[in-house]
Amino acid sequence: MFSECRRYIKEGDSVSQFDSICEVQSDKASVTITSRYDGIIRKLHYNLDEIAYVGKPLVDIEIDASKGVAPEEDVVETPPMSHEEHTHQEIKGHKTLATPAVRRLAMENNIKLSEVVGTGKDNRILKEDILNYLAKQTGAILPPSPKAEIIPPLPKSETLPAAPKDKARKIPVPVSRPIVFSGKDKTEPVTGFQKAMVKTMSAALKIPHFGYCDEIDLTQLVQLREELKPLAQIRGVKLSFMPFFIKAASLGLLQYPILNASLDESCQNVTYKASHNIGVAMDTEQGLIVPNVKNVQVLSVFEIASELNRLQSLGSAGQLGTNDLTGGTFTLSNIGTIGGTYTKPVILPPEVAIGALGKIQVLPRFNGKGEVFKAQIMNVSWSADHRIIDGATMARFSNLWKSYLENPASMLLDLK
């Protein structure tokens, strides 16, 4: 069961294979459904935001006779809600990974796929890669990246806009739909990620939260990151502060494994998790999502950064799969990228602890000699499940995490 949250076509539109038909959202992931056929849209089986059911028809497409296929009505059914299945329509078993549409585009332009660098998952060649390759060959200037493009909100009724025609617009860009002020109350169903949030947060508030806050002097880390950023950039990775926060948390969890545990529903057993799957709260166009970096305990800071880059690009494209969104064991929420100092983070069950990071600010502080200096200060707010974690444990963990970040070289001693 899922809801259709964005549509790119209307009845009577012509579509080609792999054109986007609509975007659907379950409480775990959102997926773009593309056309399997060249043809004309004859019937839409659902209205926007209506609940659709797996295995039922979604849209009827009349197949285009001119493409050498006998005219007939065909039906694209609602797929089983597996993210993997619907993003993997490419031909496998070849040296290069690319969808048939991309292969056709390459063939039409006499481009050898082996000469194109793929920027998709597992080096898959995307349409943009072909267009970029072409642009380089011809010196043409491509339209701006669709990520930066502002697309007007879609109306909900029959007056849907025509399917995006130019190539760049074919990539769906999630845009939040503002509620237009009409002078009348408006009731909308709670769907998608919002629905998941209702479920998770209602469960979370059954947990007695213990809160603990502190301030961290990141002066050394800010400097270190400035030095390492260009090195990571050369290796194709954007290095933010998060990988350090995440690695320091994992080193702390090795000493305080109760914070990387879960409590069963009857509160009879605590399971200490072997993996440090550290969740990162992400603010996306579709709302809050919390993908996690798996097995941080065996990853370097660089590897965490690389994985975070991957999760962020998938997250902002609304393409995170179930695997990335489940199995978290501990969470960090960097609300400081937006603003604020202290907050009261809410634990994500079945996890037992979460940390929220405030904005890094330049503030006057005293050094060891009593002199005032410009310090880079960040506040941290922890919440822990007080049924199994006492305040002292939370405070000791926080002190250790803080010491790694205030003196980042000390992390070297414990890195494996």
Catalytic site residues? Answer: 386, 390
d(CA 319, CA 321): 6
378 touches ligand CAO (CB under 6 A): yes
From residue 334 to residue 373, the character string flagging contacts with ligand CAO as x (rule: CB under 6 A) and all else as - is: xxxxx------------------x-xx-------------
Q: Round to whole Å and give the CA distance between 107 and 125.
A: 13
Q: Closer to ligand CAO at the Cβ: 299 or 335? A: 335
Identify residues 221-240 at the interface with ligand CAO (CB under 6 A).
240
Q: Read out DSSP for 102-161?
A: HHHHHHHTT--GGGSPP-SGGGPBPHHHHHHHHHHHHTPPPPPPGGG---PPPPSSS-PP
**Rounded least distance, CB 71 to ligand CAO, Å:** 49
Residue whose C-alpha is closest to residue 24's, from 216, 192, 238, 155 = 192
At its nearest, how many Å lie between ligand CAO and the CB of residue 39?
A: 40
Residue closer to ligand CAO by CB (options 156, 238) is 238
Q: Which is nearer to ligand CAO, 242 or 248 (CB)?
A: 242
CB of 370 to ligand CAO, least distance (A): 28
- Specify the amino acid at residue 77: E
d(CA 172, CA 86): 14
Work out whether 384 is an interface residue with ligand CAO (CB under 6 A).
no
Q: What is the DSSP string of 19-67?
A: -EEEEEE-SS-EEEEE-SSSEEEEEE-S-TT-EE-TTSEEEEEEE-GGG
Taking CB positions, which residue lies at the least distance from ligand CAO? 336
CB of 416 to ligand CAO, least distance (A): 23
Distance CA 105, CA 93 (A): 20
Angle subtended at Cα 93 by Cα 90 and Cα 95, rounded to the nearest 5 degrees? 95
240 forms beta bridges with: none
* DSSP letter assigned to residue 254: H
| Binding-site member from 35, 333, 379, 383 for ligand CAO (CB under 6 A) | 333
Q: Which is nearer to ligand CAO, 39 or 328 (CB)?
A: 328
Residue placing its CB nearer to ligand CAO in the complex, 134 or 228: 228
Q: Which helix (H) or strand (E) holds 9?
A: none
For ligand CAO, the binding residues in 279-318 under the rule CB under 6 A are: 280-283, 288, 308, 312
- In angstroms, what is the minimal distance from the CB of 334 to ligand CAO? 4
Applying CB under 6 A, the residues found at the interface with ligand CAO are 240-242, 280-283, 288, 308, 312, 333-338, 357, 359-360, 378
